[in-house]
Structure 1
Amino acid sequence: MRITEVEVIPFTLEREEFEGGGSTTTATTTQTLTRIGTEEGVDGYCLGGGVHGDRDGLSPTQRKRVEQIVESRLVGENPFDREKFWRWMWGFNRDETTLSVIDIALWDLQGRALDTPVHKLAGGCRERVRAYASTFPNMGSPSDYADHAEACQQQGYTAYKIHPYYGWDPKTGRSAPSRPSHVEHDLEACRRVNERVGDEMDLLYDPWGTYGSYEEALQVGRELQEMGFAWYEHPMNEYQVSSYEKLSDELDIPILAPEIADGSIFTRADWITREAADRVRIDALRGGITGCLKMAAICEAYNVRCEIHMSGFANLQVLAATSADTCTYYERGLLAPTIDYETPPPYLEAIPDPLDDDGYVHVPQESGIGYELDMEYINAHRTD
């Protein structure tokens, strides 16, 4: 079997966008589907690759990289040589998104060729994964967060993650610069949620690196620690590794980082050896499925948790191929009271992650990644 083509298919759709404070708007956006074709007619796919995983399409610049740079290297090659391509792309300093999208599509292709789910190819370990409800930021008042947490608990979730206020002023209810931080409003949202559901749910917290000083990050961490939160994720800019070393040493609450830092396994292995965080974060757009599996193995060797970042098909396949002792949770969302998460977008027949009554997501068992694509919709809305 040989690769014959690599293409990125852009297509449009109407989608609800969360604007903060409980409001939504409908916007036209461009999604992408990367396809790797072979001479035997077996294709591999990767949805999205933009800001938030499966949900967001590649930018025009990223599409051009995949089609013009990567295709010239892959055509004529055996699509099962994923490790060779992964090492080759790092050697040529290809950006993580390009590398990751190609890696995911190649895993999907092999799964389809062998009529096997990707997590079985990678060494199956479990069929369902414990999920946590992951909120949009800026959902409204602290009481709105508490109401939403209670609704999620009633839906079956056993864990809840707060994305607090950033790029938003909770006093005016309008967008605002990311500085200054709104520490007291952030903490009040945490207090309200803890009072409402803290005895029944694991609580997690992610300010997405917006605390501009070590003192702010420490202040918030100390109070989260007192409330018994299960982790404190990405509190500061992730280029400030020495500040993370100091924060991890000062606090007992587990620090989860880096979340979005470039460098895939290489950056994260360095954080482990420097003890800059207590748990590591990675997802399939930071080194592909191959990178995530490598990172899980590194973490297992060091007895450090490797928590998978973001929702989506590829991340679920990684989780199903790893142990809950190393990779505990699936991040389901982003969620808000005004957003319908349960209805599949028009280009999919089903969402990847239906939630059961016990708060677990069952991993897709279809061949490959698990996509059930509506190619009729995609082709009808294609835009080149």
Structure 2
Amino acid sequence: MKITTVEARNIHYISTMVRDGEGHSHPGKAHDAYLPFLSITCDDGTVGYAIGGRMDVHTLQHIVGPALIGEDPFMREQIWQRMRTWQRLHPSFTDRTLNALDLALWDICGKACGQPVYKLLGGYRDKVPSYASIMVGDTIPGGLDSPQAYADFAVKLVEQGYTAIKLHTWMPPLIPKPDPKLDIKACRAVREAVGPEIELMLDPYHDYSRQEAYYLAKELEALDFLWLEEPMDENSIASYQWLQSKTKLALCGPETAAGKTQNRAMWITSNAADLGRAGTEDMGGITAVMKSVHLYEAFGMSVELHGGTIGNLHVLGAMGIPGKYYERGMLHPLLDYETPKPWFTRLYDPMDREGMVAIPQEPGLGWNLNMEYIQDNLL
């Protein structure tokens, strides 16, 4: 089995999401948008796909793609290690782009074997509890414009079946300055609205000072939050060591720090966090995340996965250690998460009334792609 074709293109669609200056998503006016799409075809006709994830189409088509022609897609580790070294001199070859390549290869192998990817990874569970990941705060009437708006939305999420909720609070540029006291007002309003049985987490502004992060941690302790994510610059492991030593609240990280598994090893041995953090888009694919899963297992730690990606869902199905939750979202009062995007025939992560998400059982990743829509809108 050999790779014969690598094609990376964009899909045109109409979006009602916009990104602010820092890259956070919010509801917005309808506008033209473009979604990256990768397909890798083998000589037996098997095709692997990756879609979205802010991969770099030009890099995949013109730099990475030609190097894959003639390769055996089952040699995933060899290909991943080779491509990892290419990142050094190709700055456009980001971990998100490496992730797309890795996902498509896993999709091929699952289809060729007639098995879902999580079973190829070892297989541990076929469903996982999810938490509602609320979008970053905004100033939109009817949106997330106040602590009470967060509380009202949280109640609706619990009614849908969620047993855990994570808040992303207000961040520049929509507010002039991050405000930990405003963050806590939203956290307190949500706790009062949903009661003590719902597990709550906070993912706030990512560049607070030590004292601001300490204030958040101590207030969240009193509110019985489950964890706090990356409240400070993740390049400062010493700051996380300092905060971890001063709070009983679990700290979760690193999330977006560069360095893949090697950096997470530094966080573990530095006692910088209580819970590990990893994700396929942040680290370069399923192959990379599984390395970190086994690293955390060796140190007796759990690892929570960042983002509601199909790759993370398969990793969660294969993990013999907690990750406790699948991150489902991003969710917003003015957006409909439950209707599939037009490039999908159905959701890959539907949730039942108990807050559980099933791991896709189709051979490969289980994208459920609407190929007619995709072909009609490829650029």
Normalised to the residue count of structure 1, the TM-score between the two structures is 0.91
Aligned position for 2:42? 38
Q: 2:333 — aligned with what?
A: 337
Structure 2: how far apart are the matches of 1:130 and 1:81? 32
**Which residue in 2 is equivalent to 1:261?**
257
Aligned-pair identity in percent equals 38
5 Å matches for 1:281-292? Answer: 281-285=277-281, 286-292=283-289
Letter matched to residue 311 of structure 2: A
Alpha-carbon contact 1:300-1:326 (below 8 Å) kept? no
Aligned length: 363
CA distance in 2, matches of 1:25, 1:217: 34
1:142 to 141, 147, 150: 147
The amino acid that maps onto 2:280 is: A
Deviation at 1:357, TM superposition (A): 1.0
**What residue is the counterpart of 1:171 in the other structure?**
none
Residue from 300, 307, 314 that aligns with 2:297: 300
Structure 2 regions of 5+ residues with no counterpart? Answer: 138-143
Of residues 128-137 and 18-27 in structure 1, the stretch that sits farther from structure 2 once superposed is: 18-27
The range that moved more, 7-16 or 91-100, is 91-100
Of the three residues 222, 226, 238, the one matched with 2:222 is 226
Aligned partner of 1:382 in structure 2 is 378
Name the aligned partner's letter for residue 116 of structure 1. Answer: Q
1:315 match: 312
Alignment of 1:159-170 (within 5 A): 159-168=164-173
Equivalent of 2:156 in 151, 161, 173 = 151
Q: Distance in 1 between matches of 2:180 and 2:344?
A: 39
Amino acid at match of 1:259: E
Q: How does 1:1-384 map to 2 (within 5 A)?
A: 1-17=1-17, 24-50=28-54, 58=55, 62-92=56-86, 93=88, 95-138=94-137, 139-168=144-173, 175-177=174-176, 180-211=177-208, 213-285=209-281, 286-323=283-320, 325-383=321-379
| Superposed displacement of residue 108, structure 1 | 0.4
* Distance of 2:262 and 2:78 partners within structure 1: 17
Per the normalisation by structure 2, the TM-score is: 0.92
**Contact 2:170–2:205 at 8 Å: present in 1 too?**
no
SS of residue paired to 1:133: strand
- Deviations 1:297-342 (CA, angstroms, capped at 9, x unpaired): 111110111101000211111111113x421100000001111000
Contact 2:26 2:135 in 1 (8 A): no
**Superposition deviation, residue 140 in structure 1:** 1.4
How has the CA–CA distance of structure 1 residues 45 and 23 changed in structure 2, closer, same or farther, with 3 Å as cutoff?
closer
Which letter does structure 2 place at the counterpart of 1:100?
Answer: N
Task: Extract structure 1 runs of 4+ deviating beyond 4 A.
Answer: 18-23
CA–CA separation in structure 1 for the residues paired with 2:18 and 2:207: 19
Q: For 2:110 and 2:19, locate their aligned partners in 1 and report how far apart those are by CA, in whole Å.
A: 38
**CA deviation vs aligned residue, 1:217-258 (integer Å, no higher than 9, x gap):** 101111001111000001111112111110111111010011
Q: How far did 1:25 drift?
A: 2.5
Is the Cα–Cα contact under 8 Å of residues 15 and 28 in structure 1 kept in the other structure? yes
Q: 1:270 to 1:19 in 2, by over 3 A?
A: closer
Displacement, 1:147? 0.7
Name the counterpart of 2:140.
Answer: none
Cα 1:369–1:63 shift into 2, 3 Å: same
Cα displacement (A) at 1:264 = 1.3
Counterpart-to-counterpart distance in 2, 1:176 and 1:76: 51
Q: Is the 8 A contact 1:45 1:108 kept in 2?
A: yes
State the 1:16 CA deviation: 2.2
1:82–1:103 contact (8 Å) kept in structure 2: yes
**Counterparts of 1:132 and 1:289, CA distance in 2:** 21
Say whether the 8 Å CA contact 1:118–1:368 is kept in structure 2: yes
Contact 2:17 2:26 in 1 (8 A): no
Tell me the distance in 1 between the aligned counterparts of 2:28 and 2:99: 31
